[in-house]
Chains A and B, each alone.
Chain A
Amino acid sequence: MDKDLLKLKGIRAVMVQMAALTLIHSLAVVLQAKWLAEVVTGLFDGEPLQEQYGVTVLFLFAFAARQLTGMLQQRIAYRFAERTGTSLRRELLGKLFQLGPRFTAREGTGKLVTLVLDGISKYKLYLELFLPRMLATGMTPALILLFVFTQDTMSGVILIITLPILIVFMILVGLAARRQTERQMNSYRVLSNHFVDSLRGLETLKYLGRSKGHAGSITAVSDGYRSATMKTLRVAFLSSFALDFFTMLSVASVAVSLGLRLVNGHLSLLPALTVLILAPEYFLPVRMAGADFHATMDGKEAGQTIRHIIAAASSEETEEPGGSEAGRSYTRSQERQVHWTGASSLALSSVTVCHEQGSRSSLDSLTVTLPGTGKIGIIGESGAGKSTLIDVLGGFLSPTSGTFKLDGLELPALAEQSWRDLITYIPQRPYLFSGTLAENIAFYSPGASRAEVEKAANAAGLGDLIGRLPAGLDTPVGGGGRPLSGGQEQRVALARAFLCSRPVMLLDEPTAHLDIETEYELKETMLPLFENKLVVLATHRLHWMKEMDRILVLDQGRIVEAGSHEELMARKGAYYKLACAEREELS
């Protein structure tokens, strides 16, 4: 049994209730059989129909009780699964926000969204199925068996022998099926992905002149997939076949053995009929558990994955110096307000980021002091640690070691909301939410007036675009809305930053993916917006560096040079080398 299950809130009360219901349910099953057998035996013995009314009503009563307790059990299990699922989802979502963009980018948006929605659904289904099935398998057959022994020992013996055989066979066949699947796992994966892969590569196939002929290969691979699947299914279905087969065989054996002993006169009809009705009921819980096996396994795994993420987030939390309250990033903390002025400074000392034990550090005891205002450029080759530094400054990544001092006061972490309230962050591809243009611009300051939004839009150079759109600022953008170009997306992000007028701006490679004309225009728009702020801009586009007050050259997680463009060019060091490489003519 799943250990985690016992830790769930309220599980004990639910188990007690369900166990009581299972007991009533099992009793009802037995009584229903007993009373039905009595009625039939009565008729068989030639008693008039009227005399059976009483027992018939009893039968109906037991039958209804059985169905009702079943229904109640389902209801309790469902409600419990619903409660647990909801609280687990809340916890998971909270942790996702705490882990932030670095984590979601690594795990993949699609995977996480599927986990939150479908994973939780599967887990709920698991709870809903597993609890009643477990109790029913544990209690009902035992109770029926006890009763059968009081009626007819021989039948009891047959039933008691066949159940373990059935279970052993089921497990053996299940293992064989798994081996079979694992053996052809690799080719199976390719076969089952082939179609989606083909669709995604359709454009490439077309360019290669293979798209017309590829339909044939889809047919061929689908046929391959079919025969591979059928091979697996032939074994996989054997396990439910084993269940069926042994159940039916056992029922048949009981029936035949009852018949033979009836002929000999060792037995009378009433117990025989009772046992015959009860025999299929005896196997029913095991068969249902078998039928739901895959659904429950899926759900159990989903639950484990979710717990894994939650645990990962929690361990990160305890490693953070000073961070303890759960879901901290979730609630706007009411801590001290931090004021950032031109005279402020943020000092990083010996900040180290090491993703895995023993591997090379992304940031290697980096020490730097950022002034209250000014433009800081961060440059270096890919993998030098530019993005890592921006992520640390944005509080998306907790350093393995190192400290932060804001105006001389130690800050526990940059994930503090008080620090985050000071910054805006513009990544390479800013994300536009599904909503109107105005809503997107006002994302950081939802209370802004229309006039303020318009002013911000104009400052970010969106005026032209808005003028051309029929619905202007109310045009839906983002998913399902009007698609914007990369340059326009950047301008929306700039408008956001302008509107909320926070004093610190972090930019991670804002223009490298744009065409050169857009890049040029965007730069012209950006520079005035950088005035009187602390701007930290990481890029490998060297032209930005001329506009920066100070340049930090990173190499392998260390600052190897710092200074203005002119100083660094004069020094002819690492920066000079980067600049020369850029100038070299292609051959």
Chain B
Amino acid sequence: MNGEAWFRPYFRSYFWRFALIVLLGILTFLSAGMLLFTSGYLISKSALRPENILMVYVPIVGVRTFGISRAVIHYVERLAGHDAVLRILSKMRVKLYRLLEPQALFIRSRYRTGDILGVLAEDIENLQNVYIRTVFPSIAALVMYVLAVIFAGRFNGGLALLAAVYIFVLVAVLPFISYRLTRVRHRQLKQERSGLYRKLTDAVMGISDWVISGRAAQFAGSYEAEEARVLRLERSLRTWARWRSLLGQLIVGLAVVSAVYWSGQQYARGGIDVTLIAAFVLVVFPLMDAFLPISEAMERVPQYQDSLERLNRIARQRDGSEAGSQTRTESGKTEAPNAGPQTEESKKATASRTLEALHISVQDVSFAYGDGEEPSVSSVSLDIPQGKRIAIVGRSGAGKSTLLKLIQGALAPSAGSVALNGTEALRLAPRMSELIAVLNQSPHLFDTTVGNNIRLGRLDASDGEVHQAAEAAQLGPLIASLPAGYETPMHETGQRFSGGERQRVALARILLQDTPVIILDEPTIGLDPKTERELMSTIFKVTKGKTLIWVTHHLIAAGLMDEIIFMDEGTIVLRGTHEELMGQSERYRKLYRLDRPE
């Protein structure tokens, strides 16, 4: 996949729209040119004092028409351009979304650095400028170039040549030089600026350490030094931009003088009418306006390249991961990956929404992320009949998340099997949301109303069902206190909703989803003990009869679980009920005492 994939398809599907925009752009320039051309002609003709005013009637009408049409056409052109670009933006967004969707569960671990998603969305916005600022004006300028030369050629070959040379300098030579001169510096500037961005983010995040260590002045010094480098680059680019526009303008000046010289000569020879001298001289200014911006348009190109590269990396990442899972699938002796056709078996397993029982059986499962890498999960076996409550405890990197992904069918095991009611989890992946719901550390609450956020659990739920779910999650009093109840937009509750309350909204959502199994992936991290206990007690109350797989960092409520497993380096190192573990394991007793000090 290369950069063109973000451009070419749109050229094809929007060809006529693009053509119209370019045409309007050309007409804008033509109107401006014709306004001055006819004006020059009009007053020259009038200065000859024709007998009858009707002799100048046509140029009078022309002047007025061109005057008005330039404004109108330009207005329409801008609207058409933005409309087309917004259409493309919509397509690009869907395209990016489709690229990211298959990796949804892996984005967090794959792209750790910063807000990659926000950056990608911005990149796409950035690419739309390619059309408005670079593509449309450049094409319009090229067409104008051809038209100008043809127009000049109708009068005289010499004039055509003259026009061809002058415009060539503006439309090709200067942009080329400008591009070559600034390309490297633009790229450096971009790099330096993102370096500054990183450095400053780093400093602000760790500001307490800078302040306490007394090294703030030291940071300021090194930061200023980098800023100075950026300033030097910016300054040199600016200086060139000023020179470039000066050069461009001087060429316009010379073109005007040439037009004077040529029309004077032609008139003396009787080549053109006297009324056209002023017309030819005056038309040069607006005509050149079409070509002057091209240099700047070309300078922008490196900025787009950066965005494009990032988008392409995402595309490659997906291609890579698909290829990866393919090979693993083969070695793991399982059949088609996620998108594979539904077998009779899997249809049976998920036939109705009201599926009551799901038996999860994990047998001797192992998984490694790459060849030769340490397995993240090795030889783990679990039997989870419907309604069992199991807690998974372990350090970060112990393999808990990988185990969850294997159960959800998001990863294909390297060895062993994960079966849900006897069907490979992998085959059920497309319909997993009907079987297993997930409440994780930071469930996303969407920028819509509170009610809609809950309804995402099941789109066809009635208002009554939504309210019921909210009541079950003990959100009733909170929602009643909101200005518009369920219709209150989420972003307006940002101040009001605490971490525990946000988790409750997400809980209501998965209650509506009504699956036989719920995975709780450390939902109480960051909550204080009181909130933690209250949330967990609500969860236990409303999930009676459902299977709970609870990854937890604390042992509160350990007594309520049917089994507790401790994972370390991919294996289960300790398992049993709370009572068994309290009886057998000194280590467990010590840990338990942290949560429940005597």
Contact = CB atoms under 8 A, between A and B. Distances in A.
B213 A206 contact: no
Given A258-B43, A586-B536, A263 B56 contact: yes
Interface string B259-280: 0110111011000001001100
A206 B104 contact: yes
A587 B47 contact: no
B268 A394 contact: no
A413 to B, nearest CB: 13
A11 interface: no
A61 B270 CA distance: 30
Interface stretch (B75-83, B137-145, B296-304, B376-384): B75-83
A49 interface: yes
B21 interface: no
B114 A59 contact: no
Contact of B101 (A212, A329, A431): A212
B207 A96 contact: yes
Interface stretch (A290-298, A312-320, A512-520): A512-520
A582 B216 contact: no
A511 B60 CA distance: 84
B11 interface: no
A248 B68 contact: yes
B118 A67 contact: no
A312 to B, nearest CB: 16
Given A214-B97, A219-B94, A517 B393 contact: yes
Interface in B553-588: 553-557, 559-560, 566
Contacts of B239: 75
Contacts of B506: 204
Interface string B57-82: 00110011011101110110011001
B256 interface: yes
Chain B CB within 10 Å, residue with most, of A265, A417, A516, A518: A516
A455 to B, nearest CB: 19
A523 B593 CA distance: 13
A44 B211 contact: no
Contacts of B90: 218-219, 222-223, 225-226
Interface in B194-253: 196-198, 200-202, 204-217, 219-220, 223-224, 227, 231, 235, 238-239, 242-243, 245-246, 249-250, 253
Interface stretch (B173-181, B444-452, B463-471, B474-482): B444-452
Contact of B204 (A74, A113, A330, A545): A113
A499 B67 CA distance: 77
Interface string A377-399: 00001100000000000111000
A201 B440 CA distance: 12
Contacts of A3: none
A101 B56 contact: no
Contact of A586 (B117, B208, B278, B533): B533
Given A244-B70, A269-B43, A515 B394 contact: yes
A229 interface: yes
A199 B553 contact: no
A12 interface: no
A515 B396 contact: yes
A408 to B, nearest CB: 24
B516 interface: no
A31 to B, nearest CB: 13
B71 A479 contact: no
Interface in B516-546: 525-526, 528-531, 533, 536-537, 540-541
Nearest to B529: A540
A40 B554 CA distance: 91
Given A207-B438, A582-B597, A478 B63 contact: no
Interface residues of A, number: 152
B120 interface: yes
A461 interface: no
B230 to A, nearest CB: 9
A214 B97 CA distance: 9
B356 interface: no
B83 A226 contact: yes
Interface size class on chain B is 35 or more
B217 A195 contact: no
A423 B209 CA distance: 11
B24 interface: no
A117 B39 CA distance: 48
B212 A256 contact: no
A583 interface: yes
A194 B440 CA distance: 22
Nearest to B74: A244
Interface string A218-251: 1100110110011001100110110011011101
B43 A434 contact: no
A554 interface: no
A255 to B, nearest CB: 4
A43 B267 contact: yes
B595 interface: yes
Nearest to A496: B209
B201 A252 contact: no
A237 B220 contact: no
Contacts of A78: 235, 238
Interface stretch (A85-93, A356-364, A368-376, A526-534): A85-93
A113 B245 CA distance: 33
A268 B436 CA distance: 89
Nearest to B597: A543
Contact of A199 (B117, B220, B253, B261): B117
A43 B261 CA distance: 10
A252 B256 CA distance: 22
B264 A199 contact: no
A110 B68 CA distance: 47
Interface string A482-496: 010111000000001
Interface string A408-421: 00000000010011
Contact of A515 (B43, B214, B438, B553): B553
Interface stretch (A132-140, A272-280, A301-309, A338-346): A272-280
Interface stretch (B2-10, B105-113, B151-159, B317-325): B105-113
Interface string A160-173: 00000000000000
A262 B86 contact: no
A273 B278 contact: yes
Contacts of A193: 447
B596 A582 contact: yes
B556 to A, nearest CB: 6
B100 interface: yes
Given A210-B456, A241-B74, A515-B393, A196 B433 contact: no
Contacts of A59: 256-257
B69 to A, nearest CB: 9
Given A113-B200, A208-B509, A443-B209, 14 more contacts: A210-B456, A233-B79, A259-B43, A259-B56, A263-B46, A382-B530, A427-B208, A431-B208, A433-B202, A479-B114, A514-B553, A515-B396, A516-B594, A586-B556
6 contacts: A43-B260, A205-B104, A218-B94, A252-B39, A262-B47, A518-B395
